[in-house]
Chains A and B, each alone.
Chain A
């Protein structure tokens, strides 16, 4: 019978905490950039310019049709090759940067679909009302459609953020020491992989589950 030994965890806490910060950094960057870029994509996709709309649709479909792990690897292995060709070999440790870029661009595709649905969920009459009051198309989008769309889709955006928080653990494929990566390395080093992975799983669970409870409460408040 395997004997559990949790003693290596207390000493590793500062390291694990640093890892958790990296996890949060990737998560929050991906959320912020993903939502901003996703909004641009969504508006372009339902906008009047057919060519731009096609390009935006192509972008979204591409990123939604490939595994996240592959996107992370692309941005770590392939994109830097291009950069090296331009800036020379001295581009330093790009693991964090490439992870941030990969997640932001990948999540934007998912966020843009949520935002597009959110915009389209606002009744058409709202646009007519805005235009009739002398607002331009752009003002109508900014002052009427987007505020309502974001209000309607806040629960969905937060749910997506929770999924994203868990998915960031995939950065271990490029050796980045996020929370999961750190836990794995510590466990490997001390020969206590099982304990460390159970501990990491518990932390992921506590954070994700509390967040999803929060989303549920928010949702109940929105559906008045």
Chain B
């Protein structure tokens, strides 16, 4: 039995459909993440799970119990959920200990104190219970917020963009810490974020959302390496699409050379035989393009972003198409310089090129063509 299960959930504000038929299940002890750009419906979905929003259609089950359907919603205070908010939402008029103990209700005093002490230790804030929220840093406040949510031993922890108010370094460290704490406590959790690094650091499984739908529900590894559609390929990780022609069942030709790969179903005949003017777009990640001084393939540096250990180069090919390349940072080249590159693609991700056959309004139908080398 799934711990949390959503079945064909829909929610709209007026005529604007925010959540459009979302189904997924999260097993006990698993950390799931809803990842998507702002306005994709992920926060609304989280608020539906928490019980703050009614649902227009579909069902939400928590521990096998129906908690939301059209016309019925178990109030949030009866759901046994813990929630961690973007702005922490600590109670400024209570001490840290008071905040953490807040949800413990009728627990006897000594047990309550013991639980607070234990949680302060868990989140690395032992001995700070008497301080007030404003005396703590952002990262510490978010830890208190987590401790407060954990205190009543909820069925499910919901985290709404929990690290987006923190600076980058802290964000990364805290997301690992929070994952460890949740795992240690055996909690099931759902995280909402627009930051894929946060999602990768925290989650066992990620649902990429766009326009109110789950585009792909998968492990972080698969999202990056086997995106189900163009949106996921674009949103997760960096990369560019390079136009290519399918030559045979095993080969795709792009400007940088021929990629050898397994059988693509849609285009197995090759583009010449197929007759449709479509071709494919091949996804190239920055790590697929290797800088190699000995290579005869040359590309011009048009932009560079120094990142410490490496440099992310934006390179212009002869045809004018730009690609990205991640290069160790001691290979420091100036803008305008021509550098040698070669392809090192472990597996090919390609989508059929949208053509004029598709009506402009409906958007291109995306057919994923994933094949491995």
- Asked whether B76 lies within 8 Å of A123 as measured between CB atoms, the reply is no
B50 pairs with A132, CB closer than 8 A: yes
A126 to B91: give the CA distance in the assembly, Å.
Answer: 7
Q: List 11 A-B contacts (CB under 8 A).
A: A123-B89, A126-B89, A128-B85, A129-B90, A131-B77, A133-B148, A134-B77, A134-B80, A147-B93, A148-B91, A148-B93
CA distance in complex: A134, B149 (Å): 10
Whether A131 contacts B52 by the Cβ 8 Å rule is yes
For residue B139, CB closer than 8 A to chain A, the reply is: no
B93 and A132 form a contact (CB under 8 A): no
In B129-170, which residues have CB < 8 Å from any A CB? 134, 148-149, 152, 158
Q: For this complex, into which size category does the number of interface residues on chain B fall? A: 20 to 34
Contact A132 B75 (CB under 8 A): no
**Which residues of A have CB within 8 Å of B91?**
126, 129, 144, 148
Let me know if B287 is at the binding interface, CB within 8 A.
no
CA distance A148 to B134 in the complex (A): 14
A131 to B134, CA, bound (A): 22
Closest to A133 in B: B103
Q: Which of B51, B52, B102, B158 contacts A133 (CB 8 A)?
A: B102
Query: B361 interface residue, CB < 8 Å from A?
Result: no
Q: Report which residue of A123, A130, A131 has the largest number of chain B beta carbons within 10 angstroms of its beta carbon.
A: A131
Q: How far is the CB of A158 from chain B (nearest CB, A)?
A: 18
A134 x B103 contact (CB < 8 A): yes
B residues 67-83 near A (Cβ < 8 Å) are 75-78, 80-83
Q: Nearest Cβ in chain A — how far from B124, in angstroms?
A: 21
Instruction: Assess whether A132 is in contact with B82, with CB atoms less than 8 Å apart.
Output: yes
State the interface size on chain A (CB cutoff 8 A): 18
When A125-B89, A128-B83, A129-B85 are in contact, do A134 and B52 touch as well, CB less than 8 Å?
A: no
Asked if A151 lies at the interface with its beta carbon under 8 angstroms from chain B, I say yes
**CB nearest to A129 among chain B residues:** B89
Determine how close the nearest CB of chain B comes to the CB of A153; give it in whole angstroms.
Answer: 13
Q: Which of B50, B77, B85, B89 contacts A135 (CB 8 A)?
A: B77
Within the complex, the shortest CB–CB distance from A148 to chain B, in Å, comes to: 5
Contacts across chains A and B counted by CB atoms under 8 Å: 58
Q: Is the pair A131, B76 in contact by a Cβ cutoff of 8 Å?
A: yes
**Do B75 and A148 have beta carbons less than 8 Å apart?**
no
Chain A's nearest CB lies how many Å from the CB of B100? 10
Residue in A125, A132, A143, A151 with the greatest tally of chain B CB atoms within 10 Å: A132
| Closest Cβ–Cβ distance, residue A35 to chain B (whole Å) | 18
Asked whether A134 lies within 8 Å of B152 as measured between CB atoms, the reply is yes
B232-268 CB mask vs A (1 if < 8 Å, else 0) is 0000000000000000000000000000000000000
Judge whether A136 is part of the interface by a CB distance below 8 angstroms.
Answer: yes
A131 to B102, Cβ gap below 8 A? no
| A221 interfacial contact with B, CB 8 Å | no
Chain A CB within 10 Å — which of B83, B134, B152 has the most? B83
Question: Please, how many angstroms separate the alpha-carbon atoms of A135 and B90 in the complex?
Answer: 15
Residues of A within 8 A of B83 (CB): 128-129, 132
B108 within 8 A of A: no
Determine whether B87 belongs to the interface, using a CB cutoff of 8 Å to chain A.
yes
A128: which B residues are within 8 A, CB to CB?
Answer: 50, 52, 76, 83, 85, 89
A189 within 8 A of B: no
- B86-111: CB near A (< 8 Å → 1, else 0) gives 01011111000000001101000000
**Interface 0/1 of B317-346, CB less than 8 Å to A:** 000000000000000000000000000000
Residue of B51, B77, B149, B158 with highest tally of chain A CB at under 10 A:
B77
